[in-house]
Chain A
Amino acid sequence: MLRLGWHFAVRSGREGIARLLGTAAAVAVGVAIMLCVLADFHAFSVTSGRGCWECTQGTAVAARPAAGRHAEIWNYGDDIFRGQTIERLEVASLGPDSPVPPGISRLPAAGQYYASPALAALLRSVPRDQLGDRFPGRLAGTIGDRALSGPGELVSYVGEPVSALAQLPASVEVTSIATAPATQVWSPYFRDAFVVGALAFLFPILILIGTATRLAAARREERFAALRLVGATSGQISVIAAVDAALSAVLGAAAGIGAFELVRPALAHSAVTSAHYFAADVTPPAWGYALMLGAVPAAAAVAALLSLRRVRISPLGVARRVTPAAPSAWRMLPLLAGLGLFALGMALSGSKSIGAASYPGLLLVMTGLVVGGPWLTAWAARIAPRLLPGAAPLLAGRRLADNPKGAFRSIRGLVLAVFLGTVVAGLLPAANATTATPSARSLSDVLMAQFLTAPVCGNSVNCTGGAPGDTLQSKSAAEQRIVADGLPPRAGAALVRDLERFRGAQLYPVYSLPSPARPSSGQPSSGQPGRGGPPGGYTGVVSCASVRALAVLGSCPAGARAIEADTWNLYGDNPSDTTQPIFGPADPAVHGGLGGLYLQSVLIRVRDAATLERVRTFLATHTPLSASGSAPRTFGEAVRARVEVGDTVQRLTDIAIDLTLLVAGCSLAVAIGGGLLERKRAFTLLRVSGTPGATLYRVVLLEAAFPLIAATVVAAGTAYGISVLTIDRLASKGTPLPVLGASYYLTVGAGLLVSLAVILAAMPLLRRMTAPANARFE
């Protein structure tokens, strides 16, 4: 039987070969996509499981650290260049056996630094005053891959003298370097998204494999009936069918692996999750390959066997076990229930939390679209012939009404893709709009450098959550003052003078109001009672000239030269908060000079990118006393950092949509090709009896178009409604209704056009197949 199965698969003439290749191609597309997903997931897992040396914790540095110990002074922080984060570790050895961070063989001596390959390349390509000056000394070598999460990561290990580094407020003493993976904020979400995404892909891919396996099934089943007539048992038929299907799937799996290997280099450079992975990591685990070669053919064989169960193959021919019943309106119930559940979840949502019922509601809606699709198809099949003139809609409608479930099967992937795409396209612009507010945009060229401790480490996807101020309990009073208030007056005044001399930069200093009581924890002082500021808020003083220049941050009382206000909001990581007005006419005016105050932060409006980087380089090299662990960044960069997370989600969704459309398009192609082969006789009879070829083309086109349009409109409408409901409940008041952008119409439109092209591509086959000259009736 195995031999016969092999024979059926590979030696069945042109039709058999076409079926084999069609099935194999469909399986290859599915396998290649699955391997891409597995490869990226593997790279993501390897990267997020990398030892987090950045998470190294230490103890407070003694005023005079003793030498000759297995320890080092460690000062870790972020820097930024053109929106890219540079991880910067300043380090000073306290003995010959000081722990060495990964990627290098020994610690850099004072006056030396190591750079990651990407940073080294950057240093070679940009003017020194924009970046190179931030790394004084000699480049001792490059940092190896073990320290990096990807080839594009910018990392530096800078050697400093013990005496200098020990004086910095953010320095700690380290005796061992952390090797455990980081507890990352976004990783669990991405991991879950990957798993859900992989499962979501599995669904249409299994549909594709199942559809491909059913290619020309009716004709094959007739052969099986002939075998039954001469004495083949049902078991033997099953073996033949399984071998036939599995062989195509093995061929397809091998071709899919080959195709994946071809696209793997491009995949490694694609930065799907906004991070470039090492090419060696962008590969599925060995079990992934084994799964494709083993499970996919097995799945194909099972699909073939299941499809045999739907028919009774007797020696006299094939009888459908059951005539598919017309789908009832009850099929729409899960969709309606899902919408209700989602609406309930939204009703229970606040501006900061989403009602738990929303998630199962969303899943139920997606399930409901799949379950309800056949009913919609049947409905479209009934309505369309009444609305459209001619024989083609009638023929297509009758055929669809006969088996709406089968007709919808090949397009349900498309419908889900349209649904997901519409939800994301509706929600993301609104989410981004809450970050890129008009006031944030008006400050996009304003750099903010704070000198007191940073309560957050910025909006980085790889944010470790560590803050240097955590270890400052035993610092001197002077250092604790810096942590709480910023740079001391003399250092602050010198910095302000120097910055004012920069061409193309407008400086707006923010000073700290002296506070009588300082907390011992290193946290900054609270705002004055009754001011409405949060516990631990900062009290700042700004000149009214600065306030006028930064009008979105508020205004001064009439006649005032300087104003006092709670500046807590200014130092958050959400631009929609940091750019809210913080000064007002009701705030108390400050009299007298500001020169004697601690410098809390500076806001600098820069003319262009080169000036920005020169100023940033100056700040990096002239603020050694700064207690901030966050690099100076513009409000525009802060917005971009937030928007980038949304962009990553958008990109992942677009990729998911495109791949789903691709898989669904393949399913459609296979289904249409298979349908044509199955109905060769009927179509030829129609042609022979005088039906114009164009009418048959319209029949095939409409058979795909009716369910596609009906289900897509419902999916898109449902998704848009969900977006509107979500924005209404979760977004701030005044957020406009979502408008689906050009990229949405491009993505979905392109998908539908590809589907149309797939359908049209089948026309030559139809023309050739139904040519009256080729009419042959067995």
Chain B
Amino acid sequence: MKPPLIEAVDVHVSFGETPALRGASVRADSGDFLAIMGPSGSGKSTLLHCLAGIFTPDSGEVRYAGSRLDDLPDKRRTRLRRTDFGFVFQFGQLIPELSAADNIAMPLLLNGARRAAAYRQARGWLTRLELGELGGRRTGELSGGQAQRIAIARALVTAPRVLFADEPTGALDSRTGHQIMSLLIAVARAEGTAIVLVTHDSGVAGYADRVVEVADGLVRDAVAAGGVR
């Protein structure tokens, strides 16, 4: 049987005396769109960070493509983030001093790609996301929606197998949020990338194939989602 692309098994995480996850388990396969829902402070972002190898759980396991991720050294996990994972967060986490094209090319450059090739790909993504004219603009000068589209391009430029998104529409109005979600799903599907998305918004969760709910550090249940709108 083929192992899940990414899974967390009985994960516990505490911050000091405060437990964030108390035995959370979740899995996603290639091409899946998994939404993790829950109220503020429920531990959903912590779960996402564990799955992405950003946090190391106190106990339990995180596996990626059948191999333990949680016990990899930081260097290996950093490499995975560069090659296999992509990230879109609420505020994009773009580097405002760099241009849109620089930001998109950055993971490729960090990965050792040749400069010309990296920027060719970046320009390709800018065109694909209809941002061609913004390539030279610094991201600090872009609107929230534009910045998120750049973040999506940056996340997908390395053709990752998993895209982690933490409240990607949290700072956007509903119309722009809808556009971003549509774009995210379309592009991820086209690339065959799995999506693990954290949100407290049931509307956003409604885009997912599968939804799990985290409350008080536990993954309580999994509900079938309504499919992609």
Binding site for B on A (CB under 8 A): 3-4, 7-8, 11-13, 15-16, 223, 225-234, 236, 314-316, 778
Which chain B residues lie closer than 8 Å to A778 at the CB level? 91, 96, 140
Q: Is the CB of A231 within 8 A of B154?
A: no
- Min CB gap B195→A, angstroms: 17
Contact A231 B91 (CB under 8 A): no
Contact A230/B81 with A315-B54, A316-B49 known, Cβ cut-off 8 Å: yes
A sample of 16 more A-B contacts (CB under 8 A), given A8-B97, A230-B107, A232-B78, is A13-B96, A13-B138, A13-B140, A223-B95, A226-B93, A227-B110, A229-B87, A230-B81, A230-B87, A231-B79, A231-B111, A233-B78, A234-B78, A236-B110, A316-B54, A778-B140
A220 nearest CB neighbor, chain B only: B97
Chain B residues lying within 8 Å of A230, measured Cβ to Cβ, are: 81-82, 87, 106-107, 110, 154
Question: What are 25 inter-chain pairs, A to B, with CB distance below 8 A?
Answer: A7-B97, A7-B98, A7-B102, A11-B97, A12-B97, A12-B98, A13-B138, A16-B97, A225-B93, A226-B93, A227-B106, A227-B110, A229-B87, A229-B89, A229-B93, A230-B87, A230-B154, A231-B82, A232-B110, A234-B78, A236-B110, A314-B54, A315-B54, A778-B96, A778-B140
A653 to B210, CA, bound (A): 76
A interface footprint on B81-106 (CB within 8 Å = 1, 0 otherwise): 11100010101011111100010001
The interface residues of chain A lying within 8 Å CB-to-CB of B115 are 3
> Contact between A234 and B74 (Cβ–Cβ < 8 Å)?
yes
Taking CB atoms, residues of chain B closer than 8 Å to A12 are 97-98
Assembled-state Cα–Cα distance A44/B183 (Å): 73
Q: Which A-chain residue is minimally distant from B111 (CB atoms)? A: A231
Instruction: Find B83's partner among A13, A16, A231, A233 (CB 8 Å cutoff).
Output: A231
Q: Is the CB of B81 within 8 A of A229?
A: yes
For A223, give the chain B residue with the smallest CB separation: B95
- The 8 A-B pairs of least Cβ separation, nearest first, read A231-B82, A12-B97, A231-B81, A230-B107, A226-B93, A223-B95, A226-B95, A233-B78
Residues 122 to 160 of chain B near chain A (Cβ within 8 Å): 138, 140, 154
Closest beta carbon of chain A to B62's beta carbon, Å: 15
Q: Considering the chains assembled together, what is the distance between the CA atoms of A136 and B210 in angstroms?
A: 113
- The reply on B75 being an interface residue by CB < 8 A is yes
**Does B26 belong to the interface (CB within 8 Å)?**
no
Q: Is B109 an interface residue (CB 8 A)?
A: yes
Cα A16 to Cα B115 in complex, Å, equals 23
> What is the predominant secondary structure among interface residues of chain A facing chain B?
helix
Q: With a CB–CB cut-off of 8 A, which chain B residues contact A232?
A: 78, 82, 110
Nearest CB in chain A: distance from B44 CB, A:
14
The interface residues of chain B lying within 8 Å CB-to-CB of A8 are: 97
Question: Closest A-chain residue to B79, C-beta based?
Answer: A231
Which residues on the A side are within 8 Å of B109 (C-beta)? 4
Contact of B81 among A13, A15, A234, A315 (CB under 8 A): A315
- In the complex, what's the smallest C-beta–C-beta distance from B92 to chain A, in angstroms? 9
- Min CB distance, B35 to chain A, in Å? 20
Min CB–CB distance A698 → chain B (angstroms): 30
Interface-centre pick from A4, A8, A16, A778 (highest chain B CB count, 10 A): A778
Q: Chain B residues with Cβ under 8 A from A3's Cβ?
A: 115
Contact B82 A13 (CB under 8 A): no
Q: Which of B95, B106, B140 has the most CB of A within 10 A?
A: B95
State how many angstroms separate the Cβ of A777 from the closest Cβ of chain B.
Answer: 9
> Distance in Å from the Cβ of A130 to the closest Cβ of chain B?
71
* Shortest Cβ gap from B215 to chain A (Å): 22
Residue of A nearest to B80 (CB): A231
A233 to chain B, nearest CB (A): 5
Residues of A within 8 A of B107 (CB): 230-231
- Tell me the B64-82 residues at the A interface (CB within 8 Å): 74-75, 78-79, 81-82
**Complex Cα–Cα for A225 and B154 (A):** 15
- Which residues of the other chain, A, contact B102 by a CB distance below 8 angstroms? 7
Asked if residues A231 and B110 are in contact (CB atoms below 8 Å), the reply is yes
Specify which chain A residues have a CB less than 8 angstroms from the CB of B87 in the assembled complex.
Answer: 229-230, 315
Are A227 and B95 interface neighbours, CB within 8 A? yes
Q: Name the CB-closest residue of B to A228.
A: B78
* Distance between Cα atoms of A5 and B106 in the complex (Å): 13
B138 adjacent to A226 (CB under 8 Å):
no
Chain B residue nearest to A11 in the complex (CB): B97
Closest beta carbon of chain A to B146's beta carbon, Å: 14
Give Cα A15 to B106, complex, Å. 21
Return B196 CB to nearest CB of chain A, in Å.
15
Q: Choose one: A223, A225, A229, A314; the contact of B97 (CB below 8 Å).
A: A223
Taking a contact as CB atoms closer than 8 A, the residue among A11, A13, A225, A231 that contacts B78 in the complex is: A231
Q: Which residues of A contact B140 (CB under 8 A)?
A: 13, 778
Q: B154: shortest Cβ distance to chain A, in Å?
A: 7
Contacts of B49 in A (CB 8 A): 316
B109: nearest residue on chain A (CB-CB)? A4
> With A and B bound together, what is the CA distance between A316 and B82 in angstroms?
15
**Nearest CB to that of A230 among chain B residues?**
B107
Give bound CA distance, A703 to B78, whole Å: 40
A230 and B85 alpha carbons, distance in the complex (Å): 8
B87 to chain A, nearest CB (A): 6
- B75 x A233 contact (CB < 8 A): yes
Residue of B nearest to A776 (CB): B140
> When chains A and B are docked, how far (Å) is the Cα of A680 from the Cα of B146?
24
Give the complex CA separation of A232 and B109 in angstroms.
Answer: 10
- Shortest A10–chain B CB gap in Å is 10
Can you name the residue of chain A whose Cβ is closest to the Cβ of B52?
A315
Inter-chain CA distance A3–B110, complex, in Å, is 11
Nearest CB of chain A from residue B186's CB, rounded to whole Å? 22
Complex: A236 Cα to B89 Cα, angstroms: 22
A114 vs chain B, min Cβ distance (A): 67
Minimum Cβ distance to chain A for residue B91 (Å): 6
What chain A residues lie within 8 Å of B91 (beta carbons)? 778
Query: How near does chain A come to B156, taking the closest CB pair, in angstroms?
Result: 12
Contacts A232-B110, A316-B49 given; does A226 touch B94 at CB 8 Å: yes
Rounded to whole Å, the gap between the CB of A273 and the closest CB of chain B is 48
Q: Bound complex: CA of A233 vs CA of B110, how far in Å?
A: 9
Write out the residue numbers on chain B whose beta carbons fall within 8 Å of the beta carbon of A16.
97
Contacts of A225 in B (CB 8 A): 93
Measured CB to CB, the nearest residue on chain A to B78 is: A233
Nearest residue, chain A, Cβ from B85:
A231
Provide the bound-state CA to CA distance between A174 and B61, in Å. Answer: 95
Chain A minimum-CB-distance residue to B94: A226
- Kindly list chain B residues whose C-beta atoms are within 8 Å of the C-beta of A229: 81, 87, 89, 93
Rounded to whole angstroms, the CA-CA distance of A234 and B79 in the bound complex is 11
| Min CB gap A276→B, angstroms | 51
Residues of B within 8 A of A233 (CB): 75, 78-79
A223: chain B residues at CB < 8 Å are: 95-97
Contacts of B89 in A (CB 8 A): 229
- Residues of the B chain whose Cβ atoms lie less than 8 Å from the Cβ of A314: 54
Q: What A residues does B82 contact at CB under 8 A? A: 230-232
Docked CA distance A3–B119 (Å): 14
Residues on A with beta carbons closer than 8 Å to the beta carbon of B54? 314-316
A57 shortest CB reach to chain B, Å: 71
Residue of B nearest to A12 (CB): B97
User: Which of A226, A227, A236 has the most chain B CB atoms inside 10 A of its CB?
Assistant: A226
Minimum Cβ distance to chain B for residue A681 (Å): 13
How close is B64's CB to chain A, nearest CB, in angstroms? 15
Q: Which of A12, A13, A227, A230 has the most CB of B within 10 A?
A: A230
Q: Nearest CB to that of B74 among chain A residues?
A: A234
Most chain A C-beta atoms within 10 Å of own C-beta, residue among B91, B94, B96: B96
B66 to chain A, nearest CB (A): 22
Interface centre among A228, A234, A236 (most CB of B within 10 A): A228
Chain B residues whose CB sits within 8 angstroms of the CB of A7 once the complex forms: 97-98, 102
Nearest chain B CB to A546 CB, angstrom units: 85
The minimal Cβ–Cβ distance linking B111 to chain A, given in whole angstroms, is: 7
The residue on A at minimum CB distance from B75 is: A233
For B75, the chain A residues whose CB sits under 8 A away are 233
Q: Smallest distance from the beta carbon of B72 to chain A beta carbons, Å?
A: 13
B83: A residues at CB distance < 8 A:
231
